[in-house]
Chain A
């Protein structure tokens, strides 16, 4: 994929949408309008957007995790759909049975996660396997964290995908903390991608705050998958800039660490780069920011006007009836 200025503008736009969606959810949480867990993706924009952008949204399939709001936008998801699912309003694909990014939208080739992180990785592998049996290559991209990487199902799924040469790409968002547990207490290897060799698959560790680098690395992974060379693990190193969810004050994170990562802000740094390279002017950036924000506010207003689903929905669809 040749990186054109048009692509750069789209990368930025998707990252800004992810950030504004995040800001919106944080506001709604503080206002008591978002219930349950609000899981900020702040700091994760480049990893989500750069990775998903490497896929063909018409052919490939996305199994995102809860912090991959940017990936949903790359796959053409609209703000209203995401907001309705997050706030469990009428019209939610999940009918209020579940929330956050757990929905599925087969038409947009998005299949959300369950809270048991790691559980969807074998499922993503199986989705690709079905097409492999039909002689078609469908790349599945899925995500896990520095904490979720320690779940047993991740190991089984990666070994399975490597043995069957499945076109699976696992993005490891290494954002330093699994809830409150630092990496030093989650794993003892230097890089999580060191494990790739053990599975007989390709793997790399990169700066997860650099959207163009994420896109380039993932594009190579997609090409490898399309050539039938099997799965790839891409570890994107970044920082979770908020708590596990908004109830968590993340006082366990040293302030100095947050300051350090604030300087690597994936969105602000990319804006500087784009302005410096004269791809967009400062005025154009301001206009884009304002438009993204006003679109977000309009979507929130529309969503908040919707009622919650009817209580009777709770008694329906435990099974698919023929």
Chain B
């Protein structure tokens, strides 16, 4: 197994599918000659040519819409949003067209819309958003938020092979920060299964994306400082959601923190808490706490950004509260 960054692992997954399946192609802004704003597609143009690595005008609606049309005609497009913030400009295509096609027509739209999301890197309100939950509520769209390189590759391969539209939220803060062993060649991680990243018995943290790393950091710290045994569950895909995987951990510990980097109100955390309340109420020994961003755009200055986004300390604080209840 090779050690890859999160970014390299995503590229590896896409490359694997492009080598295997001639119907897979990429389309996006500056992905060809330039190799992408984050250099994720570096070398792709040379390897696959301009017919399969398509530099498009700055037109997210056209990029997503043309991808839908190509998918209806037997292709498997992987559309890049240079930043996931700009998916707003392609929102109608994903929600109105792609997300309703299976239901209305029974015809597959095998398409991936992917790109970097998330804050903590000193960008601004328009290059930092965590908007994954918009698509959870859209219906008909699968939503993927990997936290680790091996999952990023395996989930990307699943996303490309899926018969449905998939929005694939990469976290730009993890791109080069997180490295890990990634199986070479074929590596498929199926949708809809949680990954227990760390076993524990006292408190469960249910998280996805960057918040998984916050939870891990908090878990290690709390074990060291007060001997608390914290389980960390990475849900990996929001749609489909592995409810039973989450409940398993809840039944085991009875104390739960739900964490994500996206803002609190209307975030996916609310859905997780509702499911726990409905299906595992009698197992709970404490109210479930949520850790999420303050309900604001993600601000620019480091002081402000640090204050509004969640981090390991905030997760640790929530775990302490839940453990002490």
Contacts and interface: CB of A to CB of B under 8 A. Distances in A.
A319 to B, nearest CB: 5
A285 to B, nearest CB: 38
Contacts, number: 127
Interface stretch (B72-80, B270-278, B280-288, B296-304): B72-80
A317 to B, nearest CB: 5
A319 B73 contact: no
A177 interface: no
Interface string A90-128: 000111011000111010000100101001111111111
Interface residues of B, number: 40
A60 B125 CA distance: 44
A322 B97 CA distance: 20
Contacts of A97: 103-104
A30 B154 CA distance: 56
B2 to A, nearest CB: 29
Given A103-B105, A121-B65, A318 B70 contact: no
A114 B92 CA distance: 11
Contact of A122 (B61, B100, B102, B107): B61
A320 B164 contact: yes
A116 B164 contact: no
A104 B142 CA distance: 22
Contacts of B163: 319-322
Given A153-B61, A159-B62, A318-B140, A130 B73 contact: yes
Given A106-B107, A120-B97, A131-B73, A156 B102 contact: no
A179 B52 CA distance: 41
A196 interface: no
Contacts of B70: 126-127, 129-130, 133
B27 to A, nearest CB: 9
B96 interface: yes
A191 B93 CA distance: 28
A13 B57 CA distance: 43
Interface in B53-73: 56-57, 59-62, 64-73
Contact of B72 (A111, A156, A159, A321): A111
A129 B67 CA distance: 9
Contacts of A320: 102, 106-108, 163-164
B51 interface: yes
Nearest to B109: A320
Size bracket, chain A contacts: 35 or more
Contact of B57 (A103, A128, A133, A160): A160
A129 to B, nearest CB: 6
A163 interface: yes
B97 to A, nearest CB: 6
Which interface residue of A103, A153, A163, A317 has the most chain B CB atoms within 10 A?
A153
A246 B65 CA distance: 31
Nearest to A157: B62
A125 to B, nearest CB: 5
B112 to A, nearest CB: 14
B265 interface: no
A254 interface: no
Contacts of A95: 106
A138 B70 CA distance: 12
A75 to B, nearest CB: 16
A163 B68 CA distance: 18
Nearest to B51: A133
Contact of B100 (A103, A111, A114, A121): A114
A152 interface: yes
B44 to A, nearest CB: 15
A122 B64 contact: yes
B59 A160 contact: yes
A159 B66 contact: no
Nearest to B98: A123
A318 B69 contact: no
B93 A119 contact: yes
Interface in A73-89: none
B25 interface: yes
6 contacts: A104-B105, A119-B96, A119-B97, A127-B70, A138-B73, A152-B61
Given A123-B72, A138-B73, A318-B102, 7 more contacts: A94-B105, A114-B100, A123-B68, A125-B62, A130-B69, A160-B66, A317-B102
Interface of B: 25, 51-52, 56-57, 59-62, 64-75, 77, 92-93, 96-97, 100, 102-108, 139-140, 142, 162-164
The 3 closest A-B CB pairs, nearest first, are A126-B69, A122-B65, A126-B66
Interface of A: 93-95, 97-98, 102-104, 106, 111, 114, 116, 119-131, 133, 138, 140, 152-153, 156-157, 159-160, 163, 317-322
